[in-house]
Structure formats: structure tokens, C-alpha cells
Amino acid sequence: MAGIVAYGAYIPYFRLGRAEIARAWGLSASPGERAVANYDEDSLTMAMAAARDCLKGIDRTSIGGLYFASTTAPYKEKQSAATIAAVLDLPPEAITMDFSGSLRCGTSALKAAADAVDSGATSNILVCAADMRLGYPSGSQEMAFGDGAAAVLVGRNQTITDIKQFYTRYYEIQDNWRSDRDTFVRAAEDRFAMEEGYTDVMSEGISAVLKKYKLTTKDISHVALNSPNLRQLRVVIQKLGFDEKKQVQDVLHPSVGDTGCAMPLMALVAALEKARAGEKILLASYGNGCDAFILETKAKIAGAKDRRGVARHLAAKSMITNYNRYLKWRELVTVQPAARPPLEIRQPSPAAQWREVPWELRLTGTKCKQCGTPQYPPQRVCLNCRTKDKFEPYSFADRPAKVFSFSHDYVMQTADPPVTVTIVDFEGGGRLMCDMTDRDPAAVKVGMPLEMTFRRLYYVGGIYNYWWKCQPVRC
């Protein structure tokens, strides 16, 4: 029987208070805050961060596949799952698939992974879900939406939960949508969308899976649902008879927001962080229909709580105090360019990108077999002992690091000035120069602990260019 082997999550470092959004537009203030991805993040980089959290301590050569779910993937025609698999250095024969087109695509990917594992097609599959949706400025969705990602490793062996039961139904309704010509998510009249769509469909789907498994609401220890807002979540759980305080541990709406297709899996991760052995978890998602799962935790769950997951990401944050900063990051306003002429960024070469996958996307350098000195980028001659062509691959992506030196450039073109150019020293040897992200410029200092993070550098000629940056270590 397929189950979950490990889990991980990612919530961006920055938060924007809903009161700040309301103040900008002269609206009534709403409580709470929403997670805001940095200007150099997107659904792919967030899924990558969640995947790294999930695979902590797991041999990546054992991963049989990677499914990526998102309604906001960076490309309409190019597989994002292949990029994430390449960055993670998964086996080349790993199954890769993209899922999109619905807020249920995260649970659709989970079901497809469980079926593949149960069929014997592969031993395990990593499922990643991430979204970074845009609501119209001054609209209710702009306040409600949040950015985030989750990842679960589905397998047969060493599982911490079993996927016991599944129910699905489709439902054709035009309640929330975004066409191929739209930038912002559109929505029908709120009462119609909620009463004829979300409330009825979710209630019926959850009732059906409970009946199929001969359970009552009292048998469920944790409820993990997606919903457009806290009010509608309460309508469903009250209609079904769940206890909001004891069973529904909502940590997303007040502090993160509606994270789209990632929301049910993020809620699942939050539930797994609190769950004990022998408990049942209800997982359900909505989007032109309903997917509902019953999962049961096992004894091994006690040893799987060493991830950052949802809880630790929630604890490490920085507030955006200016709404215009968010608009600038999302390129929704045009601002005065920097005084210094921007660097000429040429069209990326697909051939060069293909050649540089091992050392660029994976941040893989070399280590001298003679003296053990690590180097990045890969070299033919050791800078220490001068030995030639005697190296082995050496990954820097997960190595602890610290600031050797840095400089703040206030005139370089960037969406988040200043550019913090950093010389990074890695534990065990090795040094490189890169930009620092998710930092408070005033807090940067020599010797500061760092970690590497996969980010988007720029977009030109229809191509997104990704590489690694450093960031202060999050708790």
C-alpha cells in the first residue's frame, strides 16, 4: 500500500500585512498577513525549496520520479518537473510529470503518484506543489492569496502514513478561473461560487469518503483542506460537524493565505507535524470538483519531524512595510530605472545551459583527489597542490557556509536594492561569489551563517535563467 515516506514545505520569508494593502487602496482593513515570494522566486524555485526540505537525509539516487503541480508554472510549454529533477540530481530515468489547470492538481499529482507506486511502476515518487497566483490589485483575492509550496515523498517502504481511501468527483462550474490571456485570477459572484461550488462539492465529497471507509467525523484526528478564505472553511467544517479547534488546525489563512494548489498539501504537512501514530487524517481539495483522501499515521511518524516544514517556516519571517514594494516585485508598476545603465544581458544559449547543468544548476564543483581541496566552478588544475585532472564531483548546494566579505551596490539595476554581492566561504573548503537574497542589508556582517537557495536570476528572450544565491540561515 502506498503511503507518505517524508514531507517538506516552503513559505517565503516575507509577509505583507493585509492592513497595509487596505491602507493603500482606502479599504477596510482585514486581519492577518499573506506570504509574499521575493522578486527572484516563482513556483519552480518554491517547489525546489520544499523538495529539498522533504528529501533531507534521503538518498536522492533512490527517487523514482518527480511530479510537479502548479497553476502558475514559469513555462506554458516546457516541463518544470524535469528542471527540478535536474537540480536535485535525481536519476535520469526518474519519471517526471507536470500537473496544472486546476486547484486540485496538487492532490491529482498525489493520487497519480500513489497509483504508480501501488502498480509497481516505481518504488517512490516525489510530489511537489507550488503556486504564486495574482489577484487584481485592490480586489479581495489580492488580500486572500499567499505564496507557498509543499512536497511529499510517496512510497511503499518506510512510510509514516498509509493512504487508506480515496474519493473523487468532477463538477463543471465557472467559479474561479484564469484564461491563457489573463494575468489575474477571475472569480464569479461570491455567493454563487461558494454555495453552488465550494461548499456543496466539498461537503459531498468529504461525506462520501467517510461513508466509503465507514467513518464518522469523530474518527478523524486532523482535517487538512483548501479553501478560499477562513469563513468558507468554517462553513464546510460546521456543516460536516468537525470541531474547528480540536480537528482543524488552520495555520494558513491568517498567516500565509490561500496558496492555491499547494494549500491542501501544506495543510497536510502542518497536520503531519502534529500527528501521532495511529491517527486518521482527512485530506481534501477543491477545484472543479473534489479529491478526498483518508490517511492513517504509523509509528515511524515520530522520527520524521526534523524538517522545517510549515511550523519553522512560519516562525522565520520579515514584514514588508510598504505595499509598493510588493507591486514592484510583481512588475505591476513601472519605476525609475537605476542611474547606472543596466548590464547587457544577452539571450541565454540553450546549448550552453544544457552543457552547464551539472555545475550550474546543481552547484557542483570538484574536489581534488590528491589533497582534498574543493573548488567551484570545476577546474582541471588544483589551486592548492597543482595536481592536474584528478578530481571528483563535489556538491556545494547543501554545505553550511558563512560570509567572507560583501558589498552593497545601490546603483545596480535590481527590483530590491541594494544588490548584496557576497563572497561565500563553505565549511570544508571552497569559495564563490554570488548575490545574497532574503536579507536585511543592515544586518549583514562578516561571518554570518549562510545557506544556498535556488533562485531566478532574470528573464530574457522567453527564457528564465536560474542559479544559486546565498541567504541568511532560517531557523
| Structural domains present in the chain | 3-329 (3.40.47.10), 363-472 (no CATH)
Question: pLDDT class for 249, splitting at 50, 70, 90?
Answer: confident
Question: pLDDT class for 267, splitting at 50, 70, 90?
Answer: very high
pTM of the predicted model, to two decimals?
A: 0.96
Is the C-alpha dihedral spanning 12, 14, 20, 21 positive or negative? negative
Phi-psi region of 386 (alpha: psi -120 to 50; beta: other; left: phi over 0): left
CA nearest to 10, candidates 130, 141, 180, 113: 130
Distance, in Å, from the CA atom of 68 to the CA atom of 87, rounded to the nearest integer, reads 14
Inter-residue contact 301 to 275 (CB < 8 Å): yes
pLDDT at 363: 95
CA nearest to 23, candidates 228, 260, 292, 320: 320
CA nearest to 394, candidates 433, 425, 359: 359
Average pLDDT over residues 33-48: 98
Inter-residue contact 474 to 313 (CB < 8 Å): yes
Is the C-alpha dihedral spanning 250, 141, 132, 448 positive or negative? negative
Question: pLDDT class for 277, splitting at 50, 70, 90?
Answer: very high
What's the half-sphere exposure (Cβ side, CA atoms, 13 Å) at 356? 14
Q: Which of 96-100, 329-333, 413-417 has the lowest mean pLDDT?
A: 413-417
pLDDT at 412: 85
pLDDT tens across 108-120, in order? 999 999 999 999 9
pLDDT at 345: 66
pLDDT at 343: 61
Phi-psi region of 428 (alpha: psi -120 to 50; beta: other; left: phi over 0): left
Question: pLDDT class for 341, splitting at 50, 70, 90?
Answer: low
